[in-house]
C-alpha cells in the first residue's frame, strides 16, 4: 500500500492527498468542493469531538442546536459581519421542485418571500434567540456551544483543510461585563492550545490577529497557529472577543443589579475538521498516516498468523487473551483475524491507517510466550515478553504521544527564525517556517509584505516583546510579530 503514496519531497500536495486516500479518511464528493468523510476519518473526528466536548463542559458550557437556515435580513444587521461573509454565502431562493421533461426543475411559484442563507457561521441566528433569553443580569452568563456543519462557498478547496461544507463546533457566549467576555475569550484560546498540544501532539503558538485578519464583526480575534512539515502555517483554532457589536445589532440588553439597562458583551470561538488536516501534516510520513495515541480510533491492532486450522485455534486463543487484557485497561484495540487477507497486506493497511502499535502473534510466539511489537511512528519492531505486555503497551502509548509532540516541537523551533531586515526576510521566507520580525502596525505595510512575499502576519504575540523599527519602513515597532506563508 505504501508504494501508492507520493513522497513528501517530490510533491507535498499529492502526498497529503495520497495519505488521506490510503488511510481511507475521506473522498471527494460529487458536489464540487465537498467531501465524504469515511468511517476512519469520522472516528478520528469523534475522538476529537469527545475530548473537546469534555473540556467545554468542564469550563461550564452547555450544548445546544440552532437552525441551519438564516434569514438574509439577519446578516445585514451587523455591517462588518455581512461584508466578511457576503461572497461565501449559499442562498436558498425557492422551496420546491416540480417534474419537467422526465426530470425536475425549480418551481417558479415556490419563490421565498425572503431568501435564506445556509449558515456560514451562527452569530446572527443565535443572537436573535439571546434577545429573548436575556432580560436580567441573573440570566448571565450564557455559555453555549454547538456542534454543527457550515457552508462557505470556497473556490479553491482541499480535503479537510478547506471545503465548502465542513464540520465544526462554535461557542457563543454572553456576559454582563467586558472583563468577563475577554476572560472567556482567552480561556477558550487556552482550551484550544491544551487540546492541540496534549491530544494532537501538535505544538502551537498563541496570539491575536491583526485588524485585516480579524473575524468579521469581532473586536479582537485570538488564534493558535501550528507549523506543518512543509514549512507552512495552519490556523488551527480561533477565539473572538465580539465586544457589544452583535448585542447592539440585535438589541440584546439586560437589566443590571442597579436597574440600569445595558447591552451584553459577547464571544464566539471554534475549531473544525481542518484539525484533521493539521494532524496529518504534523506527524505523517511517506508510509502513510501517523496518529497520536490519544486520538487514534484504534490504538493497538493484533494480527494473528497461522498456516492451518490447528495453528489458527492456538494462535487465536492466545491473541484473544491479549485482547481481553488490553480491553480491561480501556485501550482501543482491534483483533484483525480476517481470513481473506494475508498478514503482510494487513501490516501495510494498518501502517497506512496510522495505528500506533501493531502486535503480531504466530505459533512460535505462543510457544515462546512473547509477541512481535511494532511502532508505527518509528517503524521499530521488537520481540517482547507476553508477561506484563498490557502495562508495557500502556506505557509505550504514553511514550509515543510524548515523543510525537517533542519531535514536532523541535521541528517548529528549528524552523523559527528572527530577522531584522526586509532583505533577510525575503530570503528566509523562501525556506518556509515561522519568522519573527518588526512591523510598523499599518495595514499598508502588512499588505505590501503579503503581495511581495506571499507571507502574512499569523499573529501578534500576547506577551509584550522588545520595541524596534519596522523591517520595511524603518518606522517604530511595538514588538516583533509572527510571519509565515500559510494554508
Domains, the chain, ordered by start:
2-72+122-283 (3.30.930.10), 300-411 (3.40.50.800), 416-484 (3.30.110.30)
Is-contact 94 107, C-beta < 8 A?
yes
- Rounded CA separation 209/237 (Å): 12
- Rounded CA separation 231/128 (Å): 42
Is-contact 398 385, C-beta < 8 A?
no
pLDDT tens profile 325-346? 999 999 999 999 998 899 999 9
Is-contact 195 166, C-beta < 8 A?
no
Contacts of 130 (CB under 8 A, 6+ apart): 142, 174, 250, 252, 264
- Rounded CA separation 447/237 (Å): 23
Average pLDDT over residues 206-234: 97
Cell, residue 432: 518556509
Average pLDDT over residues 431-456: 98
Q: Is the pLDDT reported for residue 2 higher than 50? A: no
Q: How many other C-beta atoms can be found within 10 angstroms of the C-beta atom of residue 350?
A: 23
Helix (H, G, I), strand (E, B) or coil at 200: coil
Distances in Å between the alpha carbon of 15 and those of 8, 276, 352?
A: 6, 15, 12
Average pLDDT over residues 295-303: 98
The DSSP 8-state label assigned to residue 119 in this structure reads P
Confidence of residue 3 (pLDDT cuts 50, 70, 90): low
* Residue percentage of the chain with pLDDT more than 70: 99
Give me the DSSP letters along 23-44.
TT-EEE-SSTT-EEEPHHHHHH
Query: Cell 498456516 appears where?
Result: 307
pLDDT tens profile 385-402? 999 999 999 999 999 999
Task: State the pTM of this model.
Answer: 0.95
**Which pLDDT score, from 0 to 100, does residue 1 have?**
43
Is-contact 276 159, C-beta < 8 A?
no
Confidence of residue 155 (pLDDT cuts 50, 70, 90): confident
- Rounded CA separation 93/71 (Å): 11
Amino acid at each position: 500500500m505504501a508504494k501508492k503514496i507520493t513522497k513528501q519531497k517530490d510533491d507535498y500536495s499529492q502526498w497529503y492527498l495520497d495519505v488521506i486516500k490510503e488511510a481511507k479518511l475521506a473522498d471527494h464528493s460529487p458536489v464540487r468542493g465537498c467531501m465524504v468523510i469515511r468511517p476512519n476519518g469520522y472516528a478520528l473526528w469523534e475522538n476529537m469531538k469527545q475530548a473537546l466536548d469534555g473540556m467545554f463542559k468542564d469550563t461550564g458550557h452547555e450544548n445546544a442546536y440552532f437552525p441551519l437556515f438564516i434569514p438574509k435580513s439577519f446578516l445585514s444587521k451587523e455591517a462588518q459581519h455581512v461584508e466578511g461573509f457576503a461572497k461565501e454565502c449559499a442562498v436558498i431562493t425557492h422551496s420546491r421542485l416540480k417534474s419537467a421533461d422526465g426530470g425536475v426543475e425549480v418551481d417558479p411559484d415556490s419563490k421565498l418571500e425572503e431568501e435564506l442563507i445556509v449558515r456560514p457561521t451562527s452569530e446572527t441566528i443565535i443572537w436573535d434567540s439571546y434577545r429573548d433569553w436575556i432580560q436580567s443580569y441573573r440570566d448571565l452568563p450564557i455559555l453555549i456551544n454547538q456542534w454543527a456543519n457550515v457552508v462557505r462557498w470556497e473556490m479553491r478547496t482541499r480535503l479537510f483543510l478547506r471545503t465548502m461544507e465542513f464540520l465544526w463546533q462554535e461557542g457563543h457566549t454572553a456576559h454582563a461585563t467586558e472583563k468577563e467576555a475577554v476572560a472567556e475569550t482567552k480561556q477558550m484560546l487556552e482550551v484550544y492550545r491544551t487540546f492541540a498540544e496534549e491530544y494532537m501532539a501538535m505544538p502551537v503558538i498563541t496570539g491575536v490577529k491583526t485588524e485585516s485578519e480579524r473575524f468579521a464583526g469581532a473586536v479582537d480575534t485570538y488564534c493558535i497557529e501550528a507549523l506543518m512539515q512543509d514549512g507552512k502555517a495552519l490556523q488551527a483554532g480561533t477565539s473572538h472577543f465580539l465586544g457589544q457589536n452583535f448585542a447592539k445589532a440585535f438589541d440584546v440588553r439586560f437589566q443590571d443589579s442597579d436597574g440600569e439597562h445595558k447591552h451584553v458583551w459577547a464571544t464566539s470561538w471554534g475549531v473544525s475538521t481542518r484539525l484533521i488536516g493539521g494532524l496529518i501534516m504534523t506527524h505523517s510520513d511517506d508510509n502513510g498516516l501517523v496518529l497520536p495515541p490519544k486520538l487514534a480510533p484504534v490504538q493497538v491492532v493484533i494480527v494473528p498468523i497461522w498456516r492451518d486450522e490447528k495453528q489458527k485455534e492456538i494462535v487465536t486463543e492466545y491473541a484473544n487473551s491479549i485482547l481481553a487484557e488490553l480491553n480491561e485497561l480501556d485501550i482501543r484495540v482491534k483483533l484483525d483475524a480476517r481470513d481473506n487477507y494475508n498478514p503482510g497486506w494487513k501490516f501495510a493497511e494498518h501502517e497506512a491507517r496510522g495505528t500506533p502499535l501493531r502486535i503480531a502473534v504466530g505459533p512460535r510466539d505462543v510457544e515462546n510466550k512473547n509477541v512481535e511489537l511494532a511502532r508505527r511512528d518509528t517503524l521499530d519492531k521488537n520481540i517482547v515478553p507476553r508477561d506484563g505486555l498490557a502495562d508495557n503497551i500502556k506505557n509505550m502509548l504514553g511514550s509515543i504521544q510524548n515523543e510525537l509532540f517533542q519531535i514536532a516541537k523541535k521541528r517548529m523551533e528549528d524552523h523559527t527564525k528572527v530577522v531584522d531586515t526586509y532583505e533577510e526576510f525575503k530570503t528566509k521566507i523562501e525556506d518556509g517556517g515561522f519568522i519573527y520580525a518588526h512591523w510598523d502596525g499599518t495595514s499598508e505595510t502588512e499588505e505590501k509584505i503579503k503581495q511581495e512575499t506571499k507571507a502574512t502576519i499569523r499573529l501578534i504575540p500576547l506577551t509584550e516583546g522588545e520595541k524596534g523599527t519596522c523591517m520595511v519602513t524603518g518606522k517604530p515597532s511595538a514588538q516583533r510579530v509572527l510571519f509565515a506563508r500559510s494554508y
